[in-house]
A and B are shown apart, each in its own frame.
Chain A
């Protein structure tokens, strides 16, 4: 691909980072409105009202919904198109750097030992870019920006269960993880769960589960059943909006799976705060951009 293509990727990555921080996807807002209707706890309902009001203010006053500009995470779906990965990664990095300086976003990324801030949200392995093969895409690539806030990321968890633990063990681990998270990670949560693969893939699956629109189900009927069961069980915990108690602890459970080893059962739970931030765009081979 030509130079202009990668320039376009930088431009789109920059725009997506800002969009993800300033407007919420419609599916997330709809679920929050539903949650407001359903919540019975007085304080819980007030908090949902504040959340909805905040989304509105961010939109009208052109402010960030939440001050946490996150750890920059991108998913790039590529189909049958030749793309240079080093150039792709570099273009996204430029996009993140430009967005940080143009919109004066808070720089979050620090060296893990010295805690020195890089100042522009890029650095060693930052941004985090996941490439996904999507054979349905032909002459286009799809970019999803999902700047991930630390509050919910810090209460996420991973377990290498035994196959003997089975589905019951998976449910137990998920419920315990969310009970432990309590109100720390800004509920009502969106829960991304990865099951299977290895130690590394399972966390990737959990994060990938979070980019799936809310209200959709995994096509595998067994997985869909587990999504539905967990949704009911988790909401029985009573954590409620911001941990004050109530019916609404989560607004969605999305699960992604991968085949795993005969002696393994990895499970990862990636928590997402109510902001559910993500922004997407398609870029065609002839540089046409469609923001979704």
Chain B
């Protein structure tokens, strides 16, 4: 199913989505990456805005600043697994409703999406031209000392396509396929010469 969603991303909107749905988002999202999350969780610096029912996009843009205005030149998703340990806290403590990333997330994390009725969206890795074209404007940037890993709040229009890879019931599309791959591997190795 193709779904167009207006943000904020409420619990009801999240619960309507099913595994594999093709989604386009319009509204404000936050962009974070490794160093941004280390600042929040390791250094204990609270995010400057409430993240409840918000979308967190895992990536690090390149940007320019002209007369105090920021412009993103390129942004795309990064591998979510690297930041997996922070995801349960983002969902339960900060009430983030959706995470956009790429690649598999573990079973442990899927249960966290289930408990918090949140969604893991998979954006096509490397499809930065597409993601960048959907940016309307940069609303605000915090922690600029982290370069591309600063915290960005960005307005997007029809950001997508992205696919529901973990739904609010904890179904995990990529992990399910990973299990198939492990089985296939076992079969191939058995016959290997």
Contact = CB atoms under 8 A, between A and B. Distances in A.
Interface of A: 43, 46-47, 50-51, 53-55, 57-58, 61, 63-69, 104-107, 115, 117, 119, 149, 151, 154, 168, 171-172, 175-176, 179, 182-186, 233, 236-240, 242-245, 273-275
Interface in B42-89: 59-64, 73-76, 78-79, 81
A255 B103 CA distance: 26
A233 B188 contact: yes
A237 B189 CA distance: 11
A179 to B, nearest CB: 4
B62 A183 contact: no
B130 interface: yes
Contacts of A107: 147-148
Contact of A244 (B35, B126, B163): B163
A277 B127 CA distance: 14
A104 B125 CA distance: 21
Contacts of B75: 67
A115 to B, nearest CB: 7
B171 to A, nearest CB: 13
Task: Decide if the interface of chain B is mainly helix, strand, loop or mixed.
Answer: mixed
A242 B73 CA distance: 24
Contacts of A236: 184, 188
Contacts, number: 157
B185 A175 contact: yes
22 contacts: A43-B163, A50-B124, A51-B127, A64-B74, A64-B129, A64-B132, A66-B126, A67-B74, A67-B131, A104-B73, A106-B74, A172-B189, A175-B189, A176-B185, A183-B177, A184-B81, A237-B184, A238-B180, A238-B181, A239-B177, A242-B102, A245-B177
Query: 10 nearest interchain CB pairs?
Result: A58-B129, A106-B62, A186-B125, A67-B76, A67-B128, A66-B126, A54-B127, A184-B103, A63-B129, A57-B129
Contacts of A273: 125-126
Given A57-B130, A105-B62, A244-B163, A186 B102 contact: yes
B125 to A, nearest CB: 4
A100 to B, nearest CB: 9
Contacts of B124: 47, 50-51, 54, 242
Contacts of B182: 179
Nearest to A229: B193
Given A46-B161, A58-B129, 9 more contacts: A54-B128, A64-B62, A104-B63, A172-B189, A175-B189, A179-B182, A184-B81, A237-B181, A238-B184
Contact of B174 (A51, A66, A115, A183): A183
A237 B20 CA distance: 21
A115 B38 CA distance: 12
B1 interface: no
Nearest to A58: B129
A58 B73 CA distance: 12
Contacts of A117: 147
| Of listed B102, B127, B131, residue having the most chain A CB within 10 A | B127
Contacts of B59: 67
B126 A243 contact: no
B184 A244 contact: no
B188 to A, nearest CB: 6
A242 B20 contact: no
A271 to B, nearest CB: 12
B104 interface: yes
Given A119-B147, A179-B185, A237-B185, A61 B129 contact: yes
| Of listed A151, A172, A185, residue having the most chain B CB within 10 A | A151
A242 B125 contact: yes
A154 B34 CA distance: 15
Contacts of B188: 175, 233, 236-237
Contacts of B74: 63-64, 66-67, 106
Given A106-B148, A242-B125, A243-B178, A53 B130 contact: yes
A42 to B, nearest CB: 9
A64 B73 contact: yes
A184 B79 contact: yes
